Amino acid sequence: MSEQAPPEQIVRVALDLPLRRLFDYRPPDDEPLSAGDIGYRVCVPFGQRQKIGIIVALGSDSDLPPGQLKPLTAVLRDVPPLPRSWFRLATFCAAYYHAPLGQVMLSTLPAGLRSVAPARPRPHRALAERAPAQAPPSLTADQQLALRVMAANAPGFHAYLLHGVTGSGKTEVYLRLIGRILEAGLQSLLLVPEINLTPQLEERVAARFPGAGLVSLHSGLGEAARSRNWRAALRGEARIVLGTRLAVFAPLPELGLIVVDEEHDASYKQQDGIRYSARDLAVFRARDNGLPIVLGSATPSLESWANAAAEDGRGRYQLLSLPQRAVEGARLPTVRTIDTRLDKPRDGLSATLLMAIEQRLAHGEQSLVFLNRRGYAPVMTCVACGWTSHCHRCAANLVLHLADHCLRCHHCGYQTRVSRQCPTCGNQDLSAFGRGTQRIEAVLGERFPQARILRVDRDSASNRRHWNALLASIRNGEADILVGTQMLAKGHDFPRLTLVGAVAPDAALFAADWRAPERLFAQLMQVAGRAGRAEWPGEVLLQTQFPDHPLYQALLRHDYRSFAAMLLREREQARFPPYAYQAMLRAEAPRMAEALSFLAAARACPALDRNPQVSSYDPVPMRLSRRASLERAQLLVESVSRPALQVFLDQWVSELEAQPVPSRLHWHLEVDPVEL
């Protein structure tokens, strides 16, 4: 009796395709693979072309007949295999956010490692040595207590919410923890919400730990630099990785600590492609790897605050507080409201604010006028016929950018030259309605002609070089008055800045999005924290028509705790997150009727009937109902049970993918949406 031939080896590969499945191949001819090859990138034939994939598993059976299995073109061993912990993170991300595993895995790699064309060989460069380490500053009693608490806990997963007022020294706590991790021979991951925060923090970390192997990972890097830094992280050469949200996927085989700075920031949520929350994935990664994570903020997200501030003391996170500023003699700024019903602004600026700026100029101090609206004016209008500068592609207005003499849509990017006359009636008397940072800059220039005024927004800081130049000018005392958006609201330390004036914050008080008050409070507290961070006292002036509003009253007291408690009570009564869990199905199509029809059919799917713990709402147009010539609508589903919602979503997505849809209609699912 002849011996049975051993089963053929099957290689299961993840590919960057919108399909929720793996693809089976044979090993390369005469090259059997082993379990140690899982995690390597491979080049595979797919149709008439070659694609890059990742080996996920090895098996011995396939749905395809053996004769139809194609061999791998090549196993790419130019970098080590991706670690198993990275696989678990990508698998969780794909499952929780209901995205194809191959898209999750491949989208996190540098572009050069996703390309079939071989990368141009570059000599391996060791990470640069740096100047001698700077001595750490002395710690406050609050910082010492926070560090002692974290040191006293046994090794393993611990989640800490470090709630510290602006200027309280949260970064110094991070650096002390990173120092401990380096001494233990492990890697650290430090996440920041925006690219603009990386240069200053990178400089500080490098000065503290010269030669420790610090790399950054963010979209502002060139492709070669990003690929080099990613490889250094995977090889273990990079001991500290500093990056924005995509860095949460950095392959770190010896990870020992994760820090999420400004954890409340909405920038941690990816808004296109795979819509993941880097903060939430960081918490999963810490738990999965059994290591500590620190979430730091002066204004924590209400989800994190609810996890830490449980009245029974059994919160999922341990709350650590830094209630005082770290610099000796520095105090939290005095916050005052300016009632604009009495002190009516002229050209957007009240007499009280202008007087305060004049006083700072006389004393050689810096002022910041904060307006989170770039451009010169939000819209142009015709006083004769009522024409407005509307974007023909979006349900939004074209913003006047006087510096470039153009009208620009901030949603789709369309722009056109400013017309000398109304396109409807020919009237030449066109008016700029409302104010943006460019207009405030012009008004201040007329009021204080001798002052050096610097505008800081995405127009003036369009790339990292411009941003670094602006920061250098501010720190070198080359600006007297700053006019800025939220780019200046967090993470920056300008010792001479003693006055912050918020020009038009009221609009967010009554916005349709129920998260708007939380965001406004965080934004104003963050920007207020730029004032008086050194020995000079700071002052914050808020121009408002509603000075008695609870939000402003809490800001006057720097009282995040009471404001958060009030919002949490409201959300619990309304059954909003964090007391419910939500997912949003969005559709866009050339006509609104098509988008709404698809969502209505989605709501009628059997999955909703099979999951009574999940409720749904009527399909409605999105707040920005038209963008880039596509009509947009959405359907909200929610449940008080996260597991129940996940079970439903898994079934629902399968049913949605089985439905025929018009070729011009596109849909996506967002779990835990941050914008409604």
Domain end (from 322, 355, 390): 322
Q: pLDDT band at 174, cuts 50/70/90?
A: very high
Domain assignment present for residue 136? The answer is no
Is 598's pLDDT higher than 70? yes
Percentage of the chain modeled with pLDDT above 70 = 96
Domain end (from 62, 82, 102): 82
**Can you give the residue range of the structural domain that contains 604?**
581-671
Same domain, 18 and 63: yes
β-strands 453-456, 399-401 pairing: unpaired
The CATH code of the domain that includes 357 is: 3.40.50.300
Same domain, 440 and 501: yes
C-alpha pair distances (Å), 627 with each of 166, 388, 459, 636: 37, 18, 21, 20
> What pLDDT score was predicted for residue 1?
40
Domains in the chain, number: 4
Give CB contacts under 8 A, 24+ apart, made by 647-655.
647/611, 648/607, 648/608, 648/610, 648/611, 648/613, 648/614, 649/98, 649/583, 650/98, 651/607, 651/610, 651/611, 652/602, 652/605, 652/607, 652/608, 653/98, 655/605, 655/606, 655/607
Same domain, 29 and 71: yes
Q: Which residue has the tokens 């104010």?
A: 435
Phi/psi of residue 310, nearest 5 degrees: -60, 130
Would you state the torsion angle of the CA atoms of residues 439, 441, 447, 450, taken in this order, to the nearest 10 degrees? -150
> What's the rounded Cα separation, in Å, for the pair 219 and 200?
17
Domain assignment present for residue 633? The answer is yes
> What pLDDT score was predicted for residue 84?
95
> What pLDDT score was predicted for residue 198?
81
Q: What mean pLDDT comes out for the span 442-447?
A: 96
Weakest-pLDDT range from 252-266, 304-318, 373-387: 304-318
Same domain, 253 and 353: no
Span 602-646, pLDDT tens digits = 999 999 999 999 999 999 999 999 999 999 999 999 999 999 999
Residue 478 CA, distance from chain mean position = 31
More confident residue, 495 or 548: 548
Same domain, 303 and 239: yes
| DSSP code for 427 | -
Same domain, 16 and 154: no
Domain assignment present for residue 634? The answer is yes
Q: Which residue has the tokens 């409604």?
A: 676
Domain assignment present for residue 114? The answer is no
> What pLDDT score was predicted for residue 116?
83
Weakest-pLDDT range from 83-87, 469-473, 496-500: 469-473
Q: Which residue has the tokens 């098509």?
A: 594
Query: Residues 354, 355, 356, 362: is their CA dihedral positive or negative?
Result: positive
Is 176's pLDDT higher than 50? yes
Span 403-441, pLDDT tens digits = 889 999 999 999 999 988 999 999 988 999 899 999 999
Same domain, 366 and 286: no
pTM of the model: 0.93
Same domain, 73 and 154: no
Phi/psi of residue 124, nearest 5 degrees: -65, 130
> What's the rounded Cα separation, in Å, for the pair 337 and 412?
36
Domain assignment present for residue 104? The answer is no
Weakest-pLDDT range from 121-125, 178-182, 326-330, 534-538: 121-125
Is 121's pLDDT higher than 70? no
> What pLDDT score was predicted for residue 123?
54
Domain assignment present for residue 430? The answer is no
Is 2's pLDDT higher than 50? no
Same domain, 274 and 352: no
Residue 667 CA, distance from chain mean position = 22
CB of 604 within 8 A of CB of 594?
A: no
Domain assignment present for residue 563? The answer is yes
Is 119's pLDDT higher than 70? no
The CATH code of the domain that includes 601 is: 3.30.70.870
Contacts of 144 (CB under 8 A, 6+ apart): none
Mean pLDDT over all residues of the chain? Answer: 91
What the block records as the tokens of 116 is 């079939």
> What's the rounded Cα separation, in Å, for the pair 500 and 367?
6
Same domain, 350 and 251: no
Span 563-576, pLDDT tens digits = 999 999 999 999 99
Same domain, 305 and 159: yes
Q: Of 194, 275, 285, whose CA–CA distance to 242 is shortest?
A: 194
**How long, in residues, is the chain?**
676
Domain end (from 82, 111, 133): 82
More confident residue, 460 or 295: 295
Is 266's pLDDT higher than 90? yes
Q: What mean pLDDT comes out for the span 141-155?
A: 94
Domain assignment present for residue 417? The answer is no
> What's the rounded Cα separation, in Å, for the pair 579 and 428?
54
Q: What mean pLDDT comes out for the span 364-382?
A: 93
The CATH code of the domain that includes 55 is: 3.40.1440.60
Same domain, 343 and 468: yes
Phi/psi of residue 161, nearest 5 degrees: -105, 110
Strand (E) or helix (H) holding 357? helix 351-362
Phi/psi of residue 12, nearest 5 degrees: -100, 125
